[in-house]
Structure 1
Amino acid sequence: MAGPQSGSNVTRNFTNQFVQPPWRVAIWSVAYSSVLAVAVFGNLIVIWIILAHKRMRTVTNYFLLNLAFSDASMAAFNTLINFIYATHGEWYFGEVYCKFHNFFPVTAVFASIYSMSAIAVDRYMAIIHPLKPRLSATATKVVIVCIWALAVILAFPLCFYSTTRTMPRRTVCYVAWPRPSEDSFMYHIIVTVLVYMLPLVVMAITYTIVGVVKMMIVVVVTFALCWLPYHVYFIVTGVNKRLNKWKSIQQVYLSVLWLAMSSTMYNPIIYCCLNGRFRAGFKRAFRWCPFIQVSSYDELELRPTRLHPRNQSSMCTLSRIDTSVHGDDPCRSNRKSTKSLQCQVEVKDESTAATKLCLHREPTFATEQLS
């Protein structure tokens, strides 16, 4: 998402005006490398926690898995490349990677924010239409595929028009729009609306109606704050072209780019701090560390729940709305949830046999257990 605009900004200059002192490059290198390490490693652990534990395979967590995958991918493929190009103003990676470099960030960010939107909409449907079945695992995967398909369609113009150009002193990667100024600005406005404003409005409406989930609100707000300066930067520089020649514009760009890229590393930290099961999963991942203690409670957090009847056999049909981020555990609900339990219990002993039919409906107010 950064590539096309930054590339087009430097194509107008045949000399590299963005040479920085070594100490400044070293500081930015540490900052961007930290984002890369934390984002890739943290999100890979999130993916492992969800895939390796059956109890974590819920609708919400499948979308969180997609979010983790897109964040890890963007951090791995674009963070350092963006930094190197923004720092040196020269493209070292060839035309094929130039196309991918401009194409993939928009795709990944689209997949990230619409995964968050899907979680909000799924929660909304569960609350507003409690009798309708929730998304199955198959339907959830179909939604994820559709999200990526739409992301590819939106980002395709960047791949199509991206190219490299060799100048007297350097090579640049940029998007060769048919009408450079107008098309670039208009495309970024479209991306800002579809990949930032629209999904945030949808999530604001749904969470206002059905109530907020602490962990998801922190995730969404963090994403919004990280990407806001980035979108503002390109809108402002698109309106006022003279700002691109300002001597400090490179430092401004590196700052807003770092903040945007850093959005990929915060979610694993948020999950670990605000969600007991993810915290237990991180403890298991780091159990080799001498200062990490995995308790029996942590083991139970990730173990599938099972019913072990002793002197009775039961048939139960359970339909409920779970407002927790897990989607399947009533003990983890952090807002009002409604349970409808219809069960037929056949009690057997030596002398009598009785059949009991019960219909039970009760509102429950579970305490928040995300912290």
Structure 2
Amino acid sequence: MAAPNNGSNITGNLTNQFVQPPWRVALWSVAYSFVLAVAVFGNLIVIWIILAHKRMRTVTNYFLLNLAFSDASMAAFNTLINFVYATHGEWYFGKAYCKFHNFFPVTSVFASIYSMTAIAVDRYMAIIHPLKPRLSAKATTGVIVCIWSLAVVLAFPLCYFSTTKTLPRRTLCYVAWPRMADDPFMYHIIVTVLVYVLPLVVMGITYTIVGVTLWGGEIPGDSSDNYHGQLRAKRKVVKMMIIVVVTFALCWLPFHVYFIVTGLNKPLNKWKYIQQVYLSVLWLAMSSTMYNPIIYCCLNSRFRAGFKRAFRWCPFIKVSSYDELELRSTRLHPTRQSSMYTLSRMDTTMVVVYDPAEGDGGAAIASGRKSSLPSRKRSYITSRQSEIVRCNGSNAKTQNGAAPSAHPEEFS
């Protein structure tokens, strides 16, 4: 994740061969500053939406919280520093920050993509194996701690071997690998496999199975409005996460290709326009930190309501009562209205009570003969509705023993 002159071409490069005109530096400055501002403020708002609203504290959203934290951190600590070093070719920030600068991006990207992977696995378990227990809050925290621990282990060599070197006209920050000819390339191959290829393969498989299940045909056995509401909610969350993953993959693909190509063909590092290529792929990779808040706002009504609340001071942003309800913590309290909603779907049956002394009326009906019931025979319209209405209250239950629900299950 470092500048292109941090590798084996350090020796003999005493001056900066990539000097840009001021107008070009200004344009790149605006581009990188835009990424920094949108990524930091957008992800901080996402963090606020999840932490400040109890309704948003779900397993999926805790992983989104971790993803937002890692993206905001990388944007704040590395985006502009990377740009300054890649543009000027000189390190101004000391040896300690040099170690952090090379170490943290790999840690952050690892945490980001494996948070997405954890969400994909969680969606897979919730949809393909709905009867198995879901992750608890404690287990979710444990998974997040494991993700960051593995990220630190993977990135530790960059911190350990990073150093600065003062040349006659410039100071460099680079990773002093024991074997400068081979180690940088081998390490980047390992990082590419563990932080890009492997998690994308896992997410590709899980989301393919989930997509076939959700969009391949309706699940038989239930045609209620509640079922269809749950199905729509599942589809929305999966669709949003697929877009997040595809965006991440497209943003980081040119970056990994760049380092593989320049690692195989080292003379490319001295090509006249290699700096512009690097700044382009670096900007695209860094921009991956700013797209997620935009995706959440566009595709999720609750995040959209949260962004409206965050920007309600703007004169053109209106927070409706519906937006307030989207983020309000709600608990189901069975009422007459919710019970009647369920009851309206019950079947009504007729029970005919007759006197046996008057004859076999039931046989007459079964045989299709016309018969008139004596005046002593009485008809009662009975229904499961009346039974449940009488039970209406805090302990109201359906015949299956479940409390009536007026809303689909929450998935995001």
* Shared fold (TM-score, shorter chain, > 0.5): yes
Residue 308 of structure 2 corresponds to residue 283 of structure 1? yes
Correspondence for 2:248: 223
Q: Counterparts of 1:265 and 1:283 in 2: how far apart (Å)?
A: 18
Q: Counterparts of 2:396 and 2:328 in 1: how far apart (Å)?
A: 34
Of 346, 350, 358, the residue aligned with 2:400 is 358
SS of 2:133's partner is coil
Q: Counterparts of 1:173 and 1:9 in 2: how far apart (Å)?
A: 12
Q: Is the 8 A contact 1:276 1:301 kept in 2?
A: yes
Correspondence for 1:214: 239
SS of 1:181's partner is coil
- TM-score normalized by the length of structure 1: 0.84
Change (3 A) 1:56 1:6: farther
Percent of paired sites with the same residue = 82
Correspondence for 1:324: none
SS of 1:20's partner is coil
Correspondence for 2:10: 11
Question: 2:63 is aligned with what amino acid?
Answer: F
**Unaligned residue ranges in structure 1 (runs of 5+):** 315-343, 361-365
Q: Is the 8 A contact 1:127 1:210 kept in 2?
A: yes
SS of 1:180's partner is coil
Question: Rg: which structure is higher?
Answer: 2
Question: 1:358 is aligned with what amino acid?
Answer: N
Deviation at 1:72?
Answer: 0.2
Per-residue Cα deviation, 1:126-149 (whole angstroms, up to 9, x for no partner): 223222110011110110000000
- TM-score normalized by the length of structure 2: 0.76
Correspondence for 1:244: 269
Of 324, 327, 338, the residue aligned with 1:299 is 324
Q: Counterparts of 1:355 and 1:78 in 2: how far apart (Å)?
A: 56
Which region of structure 1 is more displaced relative to structure 2, 12-21 or 192-201? 12-21
Residue 98 of structure 2 corresponds to residue 56 of structure 1? no
Correspondence for 2:120: 120
- Alignment size in residue pairs: 330
Residue 290 of structure 2 corresponds to residue 265 of structure 1? yes
Deviation at 1:214?
Answer: 1.2
Change (3 A) 1:356 1:118: closer
Residue 24 of structure 2 corresponds to residue 24 of structure 1? yes
Q: Counterparts of 2:16 and 2:258 in 1: how far apart (Å)?
A: 21
Q: Is the 8 A contact 2:255 2:281 kept in 1?
A: yes
Residue 164 of structure 2 corresponds to residue 164 of structure 1? yes
Deviation at 1:222?
Answer: 0.5
Q: Counterparts of 1:119 and 1:354 in 2: how far apart (Å)?
A: 35
Q: Is the 8 A contact 2:162 2:174 kept in 1?
A: yes
Residue 257 of structure 2 corresponds to residue 232 of structure 1? yes
SS of 1:172's partner is strand
Deviation at 1:33?
Answer: 0.4
Correspondence for 1:336: none
**Unaligned residue ranges in structure 2 (runs of 5+):** 212-234, 340-386, 403-407
- The aligned runs of 1:332-351 (5 Å cut-off) are 347-348=390-391
Question: 1:20 is aligned with what amino acid?
Answer: Q
SS of 2:241's partner is helix
Q: Is the 8 A contact 1:2 1:257 kept in 2?
A: no
Q: Counterparts of 1:311 and 1:158 in 2: how far apart (Å)?
A: 64
Tell me which protein shows more strand as a share of its residues.
1
Question: 1:101 is aligned with what amino acid?
Answer: H
SS of 2:191's partner is helix
Q: Counterparts of 1:90 and 1:348 in 2: how far apart (Å)?
A: 77
Cα RMSD, aligned residues only: 2.4
Correspondence for 1:154: 154
Deviation at 1:7?
Answer: 1.6
Q: Is the 8 A contact 1:346 1:355 kept in 2?
A: no
Q: Counterparts of 1:2 and 1:193 in 2: how far apart (Å)?
A: 18
Q: Counterparts of 1:74 and 1:196 in 2: how far apart (Å)?
A: 17
Q: Counterparts of 1:263 and 1:158 in 2: how far apart (Å)?
A: 22
Q: Is the 8 A contact 2:312 2:318 kept in 1?
A: yes
Correspondence for 1:200: 200
Q: Counterparts of 1:189 and 1:72 in 2: how far apart (Å)?
A: 26
